[in-house]
């Protein structure tokens, strides 16, 4: 069936409108980040700053330990991504390949665990981490992020595993390979794109997370970027808008870059195994 030119034009127009809708907050953020205070309070704001300035960035770095916070965020996000993938890969393999009650129960638990709101978990979690001496430490936060991202990582990786033809593993078994050897030498290489996508998903989740970091990290030198950003907001919600926008813009960049790199793989991961070939 051929699509008429008018229909196609309409589709593109709708797509463009949607893109503008999505991009608006980010473009506006960039615009604010480069505006001096007087332009921020203009009744007729402009998209492009009339007197662009880097003062907001300078002030943001002067007032808050942004570099340290960025490093903490990076450590937490990388740690969470690596550990989540190491744990999720063999588990996802079992969930996808085994058909017993245990696999079904595990899959069910993964779904149920997504239903717990984090406000319900935070105080018990705080007490557990306190007993482990992991309050106010990035490793403690990494542990939380691993647990938090595991269910979705498992679900995502299981989809990739299901997409790997069973026959390849059977052929490896015929050649004498055990379960572990098959997983490592046959399945894992085929899963590589999925593993990367899952790791990056865990990375972005941890990079953007706010509430756990707020509660678990006490001192500025340990805090992550999302927590540090709130320091630009004062009593009654009054914000130091320029420096806040500048810092938020910088904080957004890494996850934007990462997401741009992996978004096709993430979509692939979610759809993998959805349709029988």
Residues that bind other proteins (CB under 8 A): 37-38, 40-45, 59, 62-64, 79, 82-83, 86, 122-123, 126-127, 130, 132-140, 142-143, 180-181, 184-185, 211, 214-215, 218-220, 223, 227, 230-241
- Residue 157: name the closest of 246, 265, 77 by CA: 265
Least separation in angstroms between residue 233's CB and other proteins is 5
Least separation in angstroms between residue 144's CB and other proteins is 11
Least separation in angstroms between residue 156's CB and other proteins is 20
Q: Which tokens go with 229?
A: 């950003």
Q: Which is nearer to other proteins, 183 or 204 (CB)?
A: 183
Q: Which is nearer to other proteins, 172 or 227 (CB)?
A: 227
Q: Which is nearer to other proteins, 100 or 237 (CB)?
A: 237
Least separation in angstroms between residue 145's CB and other proteins is 12
Q: Which is nearer to other proteins, 98 or 218 (CB)?
A: 218
Q: Which tokens go with 167?
A: 């026959």
Least separation in angstroms between residue 242's CB and other proteins is 9
Q: Which is nearer to other proteins, 79 or 194 (CB)?
A: 79
**Residue 185: half-sphere exposure toward Cβ, Cα within 13 Å:** 13
Least separation in angstroms between residue 18's CB and other proteins is 28
Residues facing 233 on adjacent strands:
239
Q: Which is nearer to other proteins, 129 or 164 (CB)?
A: 129
């Amino acid at each position: 069936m051929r699509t008429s030119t008018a229909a196609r034009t309409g589709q593109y127009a709708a797509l463009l409108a949607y893109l503008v809708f999505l991009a608006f907050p980010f473009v506006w953020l960039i615009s604010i980040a480069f505006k001096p205070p007087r332009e921020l309070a203009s009744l007729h704001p402009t998209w492009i700053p009339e007197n662009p300035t880097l003062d907001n960035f300078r002030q943001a770095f002067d007032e808050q330990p942004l570099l340290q916070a960025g490093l903490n965020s990076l450590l937490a996000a990388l740690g969470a991504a690596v550990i989540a993938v190491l744990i999720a890969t063999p588990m996802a393999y079992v969930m996808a390949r085994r058909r017993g009650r245990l696999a079904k129960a595990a899959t069910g638990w993964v779904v149920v665990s997504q239903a717990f709101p984090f406000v319900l978990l935070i105080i018990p979690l705080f007490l557990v981490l306190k007993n482990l001496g992991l309050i106010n430490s990035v490793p403690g936060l990494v542990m939380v992020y691993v647990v938090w991202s595991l269910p979705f990582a498992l679900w995502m990786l299981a989809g990739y595993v299901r997409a790997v033809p069973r026959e390849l593993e059977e052929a490896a078994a015929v050649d004498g390979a055990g379960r572990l050897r098959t997983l490592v030498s046959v399945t894992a290489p085929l899963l590589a794109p999925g593993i990367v996508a899952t790791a990056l998903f865990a990375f972005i989740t941890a990079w953007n997370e706010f509430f756990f970091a707020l509660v678990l990290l006490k001192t500025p030198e340990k805090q992550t970027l999302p927590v540090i950003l709130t320091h630009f907001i004062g009593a009654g919600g009054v914000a130091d808008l320029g420096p806040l926008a500048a810092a938020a813009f910088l904080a957004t960049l890494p996850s934007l870059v990462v997401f741009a790199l992996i978004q096709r793989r993430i979509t692939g991961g979610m759809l993998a195994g959805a349709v029988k070939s």
